[in-house]
Amino acid sequence: MRKSLFVLLVLLAGSVTAAPLPDNIFFRAMQDEMQRTQKELRVPGSPKPFFTAYKIIYSTSQNFEALFGVPYAREEEPKTNLTAMGYIYAGTARTNSSGFDNDMYYYRPAASFSGPLSYEGLRRLLWRLTDSEYIFASTSYERKEAYKRQKNIIDPLPDFTASAKASYVQDIPAFPKIDAATSQKLVEELSALGKELSYLEFFSTALQFAQQDIYFLDSEGDFYQYSIPLASFSITARLRNQDGYKENVRQNWSLPWAAALNQAELKEWTEQFLQELQDMYQARKAEPYLGPVLLEPKAAGGFFNQLFISNANNPKPLLSAQRETDTTAGQFKDKMGLRVISHLLDVYDRPHVREYEDIPLQAFMPIDDEGVEAKELKLVQSGKLLGLPGSRSPIAGQKRSNGHARFNSRTYPRAMLSNVFFTPKNPLSAEELEQKLLARCQELELEYCYIFPRFPVITGGKGELDFAWRIYTNDGRKEPVYGLRLEGVTTRSLRDVSAAADDMSVSHFVDNRNQMPFSVIAPSVLVDEIEILPTQRKPDRKPFVPLP
């Protein structure tokens, strides 16, 4: 295990301590509107606001992109965007409007994505949000109470628990000055390398710089202020392989700001990607296979994100008069104390960690979106589920929030993970893990096994992968393969992890339903059994006229 991991375990972003409310237009506008909401917002016959929270995200970004050496998108100056959102719980701590989905296609707070950056503009924006949100909260409260009477639901737990006050303040840095000419020249030079492969129909490279300044205030006086810097280099390509199948491929690398213009490193990544595209062009089509698969770090990140994180999130199902079960609630909610993943792994959620090996983690969260200090959470020990993310809406066996309520413009606060570390016990080197794969293949008398550099999106246990490596048992020779259709990939697959390496790596993901970001820090792993079938897609016809 690399030394940097041990350093990381104690390198937290700082403790959450009492701090004065910063004096800026964001907090002045939120505080003034909050006071008016809590004191004056009343509708006869409807419950009053019990808890109110506002969140403002001020984003700055600057992007540079080129296509085959030609400028595709260039921003001489940074662009800014203001997003304000808010929610209200109407009722009391015992019973309020939270946790009721009164529209199966809509469980998200009022939000606005534009507005002038001034105190007056922010006040108007928050006023509109509050007015809209109170109507929704009042309606939800009435329908929730009616539903509970109809179903005779008597919950001994309150809807909302008390919590100590929490605050976190980071000085917001100015968005760095980006050398636009150098950045644009770099992406043009890198994208021009795509001209070397005549069968590429599209090849673009992009540098993206961004910073999110985030401000939160609730009616109990909890607040936070911090920024998240983001920099990335991405390549997007489209080709038609030798069998006529179209392949669309995108690769993204997260970068520390200081290394974002490292020409040598970006060129190396681009050349490696071009080599992968050559392999993809020459690849053979997959054949039926059932056996072990080695997942490289990025593939392991996707594997864990889809099968573990999505099932650990949202442990408390929403009540709904429109459906009996909440399909958004994770499957692990009833599996506390059971083995949900290989005994070779411990799993932690560390919302306080800002970066890993200089890569910013996009789910950094010192205080959650219900005003509770976000605490490190030990989810799994030796494969057994010990804990789940919690909010101020308690569940059986977890009666206090552990500070994992998250919300954005797509969802009201739900208990979700943030920066999830999959820590192996007795890890192997990457070379040893590959040798273990070959040994397992030989034991099963298989001609070859598979190595995945990426992991596909899984829906209903199925997913399609555009590229993988077939590694032959007798000599370790590797051969590119395309058109892999995975079958039967479920949470059961988590328990099939039979070994892990020490090559911990960061992967970033965004939840498809709620657009909530997560960071996964995971090593390469060996999964003992995955079923692969050839894709059912048919090749496209060749163009009437070849590429110019």
Cβ-contact 434, 501 below 8 angstroms: no
15-24, 428-437, 448-457, 475-484: the lowest-pLDDT one: 15-24
Residue 18 makes CB contacts below 8 A (sequence gap 6+) with 165, 167
CA 382 to CA 456: how far, in whole Å?
27
Cβ-contact 143, 321 below 8 angstroms: yes
Across residues 458-480, what is the average pLDDT? 95
Q: What's the pLDDT score for residue 110?
A: 85
As assigned by CATH, the class of the 16-253 domain is alpha beta
CA 252 to CA 497: how far, in whole Å?
26
CA 46 to CA 363: how far, in whole Å?
36
Count other Cβ atoms within 10 Å, centred on residue 324: 7
Cβ-contact 390, 402 below 8 angstroms: yes
More confident residue, 66 or 230: 66
More confident residue, 43 or 365: 365
**Pair of tokens at residue 76:** 């001489």
Domain edges within the chain = 16-253, 284-315+325-534
Q: What is the pLDDT of residues 298-341, one digit of tens each?
A: 999 999 999 999 999 999 999 998 888 888 899 999 999 999 99
Q: What's the pLDDT score for residue 15?
A: 52
> What Cα–Cα distance (Å) separates residue 252 from each residue in 207, 297, 441, 466?
10, 14, 31, 16
**Pair of tokens at residue 114:** 């534009």
Across residues 424-430, what is the average pLDDT? 96
Cβ-contact 280, 246 below 8 angstroms: no
CA 261 to CA 32: how far, in whole Å?
43
Could you tell me which of 283, 284, 253, 279 has the C-alpha nearest to residue 197? 279
5 has a pLDDT exceeding 50: no
Could you tell me which of 292, 290, 296, 289 has the C-alpha nearest to residue 525? 296
